[in-house]
Amino acid sequence: MAKAALMDFDKALELYEPVLGFEVHVELNTETKMFSAAANPANEKNHGATPNTLVAPVDMGLPGSLPVVNETAVRYSISLGLALGCQIAPSSRFARKNYFYPDLGKNYQISQYDEPIAFEGQVEVELEGGDIVTVPIERAHMEEDAGKLTHVGGSTGRIQGAEYSLVDYNRAGVPLVEIVTKPIFGAEHRAPELAAAYVRAIRDIVIGLGISEARMERGNLRCDANVSIRPRGQEKLGTRTETKNVNSMRSVERAVRYEIQRQAAILSAGGTITQETRHWHEDTGTTSPGRPKSDADDYRYFPEPDLLPVAPSVELIESLRAALPEPPAVRRRRLNAEWGFADIDFQGVVNAGLLNEVEATVAAGAAPAAARKWWMSEISRIANAEGVEPSSLVSPASVAALQQLVDNGTLTDKLARQVLEGVIAGEGTPQEVVDARGLAVVSDDGALIAAIDEALAAQPDVLEKIRDGKVQAAGAVIGAVMKAMKGQADAARVRELVLERAAG
Amino acid sequence: MSDIIRLTAAELSAKLASGEVSSVEATRAHLDRIAAVDGDVHAFLHVSDHALDVAADIDRRRADGERLGELAGVPLAVKDVLVTTDMPSTSGSRILEGFLSPYDATPVARSRAAGLVPLGKTNMDEFAMGSSTEHSAYGPTHNPWDLDRIPGGSGGGSAAAVAAFEAPLALGSDTGGSIRQPAHVTGTVGVKPTYGGVSRYGSIALASSLDQVGPVARTVLDAALLHDVIGGHDPHDATSLEQDWPSFAAAAREGANGQALKGLRVGVIRELPDTGFQTGVAESFRASLALLEAQGAEIVEISAPHFEYGVAAYYLILPAEASSNLAKFDSVRFGLRVDVPGGTVEDVMARSRDVGFGDEVKRRIILGTYALSAGYYDAYYGSAQKVRTLIQRDFDNAFAEVDVIATPSAPTTAFRLGEQLDDPLQMYLNDVTTIPVNLAGVPGISIPSGLAAEDGLPVGIQFIAPAREDARLYRVGAALEALLVDSWGGPLLDRAPVLGANGGAR
C-alpha cells in the first residue's frame, strides 16, 4: 500500500485545528449474553472457549428464536451511564439495524438507535502533568456484539482476496455499551495524548465499576477514533474519518496523530478528505481506507418488535447511583492531596497502576511516602524481574506491617528488604520472618559497645583522629561494627556510641 | 371411516381416560385417515414416523397410573411455522427444505409435555404470507368441502386437517387472519389469542408485533382445551404476558351450558362496508345475530372509523417486519444454499434467496424494505403505526360500550384455487375483518355460523374481545355454537362431502 504523504505534526497544528470524537465499545462481563442464556465469552471465566460453543439459538439467528434482554446488562449499562455523568432515560427502546453480513446471525443487529439508555454526560480526562480536559458525552447505548470472522487465504487477512472465511458466533450477542462523545474541541497539540487518556479514563471507570474485563488486547474495550481538521479560523467542521481497529491506548494516540498529519497533507495540497472508515495497522503505524461511509448508509432502523422498552424504575436508578464508586479522576485528586506527593511521584504511581496498592498500604497504617517507596522500588523491581504483577507478590497489609517494623526500629531498611524477600518467598508475616531468620536490629548498647571496643582495638588511631576533628574517621569503625553485627545494628546508634567514646 | 376420528378432542380424551380407546388406536386411526385422504387434501407436509411410539408411551404411562393432562394421548397436527426437533420445519418455503430445529417451539413443547401426540406438520402459505395456502412451495392444500377450492391461509393445512378428520386438533399461527379465515372457509373453529397470550418462541416469525400462535379445532371446547395447554407466560418470549389466565375450557363449558348470552352486549361495526361481502356470508352473519338477540343478547351498533384503514396499515407494518425477520435466511448457517462458482458470500446469499423464496415472499420483502428506507420511513411505516394506534383506540372506545364485537370472519366463502392468485390486492382483502384484531393485539375467534345458500360452503362468524379477555370469546363462542348445532341437528362438518368418495377431485 502506498504510503500517504504526511505533514509535520507541529506544522499541521499551526495550519489546522483538530477536532476529535470517539466511539468506545465496552464488552460487559455479565455471566450470559445480551439477549440469550449462552455463556458470555467476555467474562473472564469463559475466555478462550472453542469457537461456536457459547451459542444459543438467537445468537445463531435460528428460525423461531427470540431475544430476551439481560437485566444484569441493563443494570451495568445504567451504572456506566451514571458514572459518565449521563441522564438515564426513563424508557428506552431497542431497534433493529438491518444489514447483511455473515457475522450477524439474524442479519440485523439489535441496538439502541433514537432512544439510548443514557445521554448527555461528561468525563474528566487527566493528561500528563495533571491537566484536566472535560470530554462531553453524547450518549451511551446498549447493543449486541457481532460474531468474529476469520478470513483465510489471501495476504491481507481481510475479506478481499480471501479463499474462505470462518465464523465464530461465540462473540455474537456479547453485551456491549457504545459510548459516543460529542465533538471535542481545543485539544490542539495534545489531541493524540487526549485520545489515549480518554480511553484510559473509560477503562478506569469500567474497571472501577467491575462491569468489564476491559482488556483492549482481547477486544473488551475498542475505540473508533473520529478525526477531522479545519483550517484555523474556519467555523465549519472538516470532513471526518473514522479509524477502527485501534486496540491499545498507544495505538489510539498514534492513529490520531497519523490522521491529523495525513489530513493536513491532503488539505494543504488542495485535496479533499473522503468521509470513510479507515483501518489502523499496528505494524506500519498507518491507516488505510476501508468501506466508504456516508450518511446515505441505510440500515432501515425500526423499533425491535420482539422486545419491550427498557423502563428502569427511579428506585433502581437511584440505588445504582448510590452504589457508584468514587470517579477515578476525583479519587486521584483526593489521594494526591491526602498524600502530599510531588506530582511526578504521584503520576508515577498512577502510571505503574499501583494506586490501589499504595492506598491500601496507607490504609493499613503505613506513611504514604513509605508505602509509595515500597511499591515503586523494591516490590516493582522484584515483580519486573519475575515478570509478574507487583500486587501478586505481597499484600498491602504485609507491606504496612513491614514498614511498622522499620518505624519502631526493629529493622533497618536493609534488613527490611531481606524480610520482604522472606515474605514473598512465603515464609510468613514480616514478624514471623524476622523471628525465624533472627533479623532484628541489635538494640542492646552493651553488645554494640563490646563490638566497638573490638573494632577500636584493631584501629587504635581512630579515636585520635576524631578528637582532631576528623569525624569521618568514625566510618571505618562503624563499618567494622556493622560487619561484626551482620548488619543487624542501627548504624546511627553505632555512630553515636563511637563519638561518645571519643568525647569521653 | 373409523368412528374414532369423528370424535371431538374432548370426547376422545374422555375415552382415553376411561380406557375405552388407547392413544395408539386413536393415533393409528388418524394416520390411516391421513393415508386415505391426504393425497387429495394435502394438509400435511410431513407425517411423523414415530407418532405411534409417542402414543404407546402415553398409554404405558397411563397404565402405570401417572396423572396425565386432559388431552394426553390426543393426536395433534402442527403448523409448519412451528419448529420441531423431530420433524422438519419449513414454514412452507423451499429455503428451509428439510430444516431440523435443535429446539422445539414453546407451544409444541407444552403440547408434548401435556401428552398430545404430534402427527405431522401442516401445509401453509410460504412464511405465512397468503390467504389460500397456494403460496406454499410444496403445492396447495385443498378444501375438504370442495377439493377445487382453497382451504384459506396461511394455515390452510391445519384447518383442512381438522376439517378432514385427519386430526382432532391443530396448532396454527395468526398474523392477520391465518387461523380465523381458514376456520371460516373450512367450517372449523380457530382462535387468535390476545397478543402475548401464547409464546411466539419457536414460531418462525412473519411479523413479530402481529404474530400469535393459537388453536385450531372442530369445536369451541376443543380449541379452549388446547389453548389451556399452550398458553401462559414463557420467559423465552419477552412479549409474552405475565399473568394468570383462567381456564378457557371451563369458560367454554360454562358458555355451552349457561346463560352467557343474556344481557351480553354485542357490537357490530357501523363502518363495515355492505359491499364486498358475499350474500350468503352476510345472511349467515345476520342470522347468527338474530339467534343471539333471541337469547337475550343486545346488538349494539358501534363506530370503528379507522377499521377500514387496517388492511393498508397492515401491508406496511407486516412487510417491514417481515423484510427484517426473513433476513436470517441467507444460506450461511442453515437452509438452502445455491453456490455461485467464484462468487462472494453476498453472491451466494443473493442467489440462495432468489431461488429459495417464492414470488409473494419477494414481493413483501421488497415492499417492507422500501417502507423502512430512509426518507420513506415516516410516510409509510410511521404512518401505519399511527393508524394502528387509532384502530386500537377504536377498539378501546367500542369496548367501553360492548362486551364483544361480532363481524363476519371473511368476506366470501372459499374461492376456487387459482382464482385470486394473480391479484394480490384482492387476496389481501380476504383479511379485512381479521387484520384489525391483530393490529390491536386483541383476541378473536371464528366459529362456523352455517353454509352460504348460494354455494353451500361454510361461513364463519368472528367475535372479538378486549385484550386478556380470551375467556369471554370461549364463553360466547360456545354458547352460540350450542344454539347453531342444535338448529342444524348436528355439527356443520357432518354436511361436508365424504372424502375419497369421488375418486379424488385432484
If asked whether residues A307 and A391 sit together in one domain, one would say no
Tell me the shortest Cα–Cα distance from A175 to chain B, in angstroms: 17
Chain A residues with CB-CB distance to B342 below 8 A: none
Residue B48 is part of which domain span? Answer: 4-306+389-493
CB contact under 8 A, A64 and B205: yes
Query: Would an 8 Å CB–CB cutoff place B330 in contact with chain A?
Result: yes
Strand B44-47 vs strand B117-122: parallel, antiparallel, or unpaired? antiparallel
CB contact under 8 A, A296 and B374: yes
Is B352 in the active site? Answer: no
pLDDT at position A485, please? 80
Domain boundary among A262, A290, A320: A320
End-to-end CA distance of chain B: 20
In a domain, A128, yes or no: yes
Banded model confidence at residue B161, pLDDT cuts 50, 70, 90: very high
In a domain, A162, yes or no: no
Checking if the pLDDT of A368 tops 90, the result is yes
Chain A residues with CB-CB distance to B208 below 8 A: 305-306
Residues B63-94 have pLDDT tens digits of 999 999 999 999 999 999 999 999 999 999 99
If asked whether residues A139 and A181 sit together in one domain, one would say yes
Banded model confidence at residue A491, pLDDT cuts 50, 70, 90: confident
Tell me the shortest Cα–Cα distance from A229 to chain B, in angstroms: 29
Checking if the pLDDT of A290 tops 90, the result is no
Is B121 in the active site? Answer: no
Checking if the pLDDT of B44 tops 90, the result is yes
Q: How far is CA A367 from CA A341, A374, B167, B252, B468, in A?
A: 11, 11, 84, 81, 68
Query: Would an 8 Å CB–CB cutoff place B206 in contact with chain A?
Result: no
In a domain, A159, yes or no: no
Pick from A57, A66, A96: which is nearest to B324 by CB? A96
In a domain, A1, yes or no: no
In a domain, B282, yes or no: yes
pLDDT at position B503, please? 41
If asked whether residues A240 and A137 sit together in one domain, one would say yes
Domain boundary among A320, A341, A364: A320
**Cα distance between residue B440 and residue B438, in whole Å:** 5
CB contact under 8 A, B209 and A305: yes
In a domain, A259, yes or no: yes
**Cα distance between residue A420 and residue A374, in whole Å:** 10
Which CATH number is B405's domain given? 3.90.1300.10
Chain A residues within 8 Å of chain B (Cβ atoms): 57, 60-69, 96, 98, 100, 102, 105-108, 165, 167, 296, 298, 300-302, 305-308
If asked whether residues A315 and A417 sit together in one domain, one would say no
Element (H, E) at A126: strand A118-126
Chain B residues with CB-CB distance to A302 below 8 A: 320-321, 324, 372, 377, 381
pLDDT at position A466, please? 82
Which CATH number is A479's domain given? 1.10.10
If asked whether residues A366 and A241 sit together in one domain, one would say no
Checking if the pLDDT of B274 tops 70, the result is no
Candidates A65, A304, A186; CA nearest to B236 is: A65
Query: Would an 8 Å CB–CB cutoff place B208 in contact with chain A?
Result: yes
If asked whether residues A249 and A110 sit together in one domain, one would say yes
In a domain, B148, yes or no: yes
Checking if the pLDDT of A496 tops 80, the result is yes
Joined grid coordinates for residue A107: 442479519
The HSE-up count of residue A206 (CA atoms within 13 Å, CB side) is 29
CB contact under 8 A, B205 and A307: no
In a domain, A161, yes or no: no
Query: Would an 8 Å CB–CB cutoff place B99 in contact with chain A?
Result: yes
If asked whether residues A268 and A389 sit together in one domain, one would say no
Q: Tell the burial category of B193 from Cβ atoms under 10 Å away from its Cβ (0-12, 13-18, 19+).
A: buried
If asked whether residues A338 and A398 sit together in one domain, one would say yes
To 10 degrees, what angle do helices B248-257 and B220-230 make? Answer: 160
User: Following DSSP, what letter does each residue of B220-253 receive, concatenated?
Assistant: HHHHHHHHHHHBS--TT-TTS--SPPPPHHHHHH
Catalytic residue among B48, B93, B158, B178: B178
Q: Tell the burial category of B487 from Cβ atoms under 10 Å away from its Cβ (0-12, 13-18, 19+).
A: exposed
Q: Tell me, what DSSP letter sits at residue B196? A: T
Catalytic residue among B13, B22, B23, B79: B79
Which parts of B247-364 are beta strand (E)?
Answer: 265-269, 298-302
**Cα distance between residue A127 and residue A133, in whole Å:** 7
Least confident of A493-497, B335-339, B412-416, B461-465: A493-497
Is B178 in the active site? Answer: yes
Catalytic residue among B23, B131, B154, B240: B154
The mean pLDDT of chain B is: 95
Tell me the shortest Cα–Cα distance from A58 to chain B, in angstroms: 10
Q: Give the CA diameter of chain B.
A: 73
Least confident of A88-102, A150-164, B309-323: A150-164
Residues 360-399 of B with CB under 8 A from A: 369, 372-374, 377, 381
If asked whether residues A362 and A397 sit together in one domain, one would say yes
CB contact under 8 A, B333 and A165: no
Q: Which chain A residue has the Cα nearest residue B241?
A: A308
CB contact under 8 A, B328 and A167: no
If asked whether residues A121 and A107 sit together in one domain, one would say yes
How many structural domains is chain A composed of?
3
In a domain, B502, yes or no: no
Banded model confidence at residue A424, pLDDT cuts 50, 70, 90: very high
To 10 degrees, what angle do helices B23-41 and B9-18 make? Answer: 150
Residue A281 is part of which domain span? Answer: 9-144+173-320
CB contact under 8 A, A60 and B374: no
Query: Would an 8 Å CB–CB cutoff place B202 in contact with chain A?
Result: yes
How many structural domains is chain B composed of?
1
CB contact under 8 A, A105 and B203: no
In a domain, B363, yes or no: no
pLDDT at position B504, please? 41
In a domain, A244, yes or no: yes
pLDDT at position B506, please? 37
Residues A69-128 have pLDDT tens digits of 999 999 999 999 999 999 999 999 999 999 999 999 999 999 999 999 999 999 999 888
Checking if the pLDDT of A275 tops 50, the result is yes
In a domain, B368, yes or no: no
Candidates B483, B205, B403; CA nearest to B323 is: B205
In a domain, A3, yes or no: no
Banded model confidence at residue B502, pLDDT cuts 50, 70, 90: very low
In a domain, B342, yes or no: no
CB contact under 8 A, B330 and A102: yes
If asked whether residues A91 and A216 sit together in one domain, one would say yes
If asked whether residues A34 and A133 sit together in one domain, one would say yes
Q: Tell the burial category of B422 from Cβ atoms under 10 Å away from its Cβ (0-12, 13-18, 19+).
A: exposed
pLDDT at position A476, please? 82
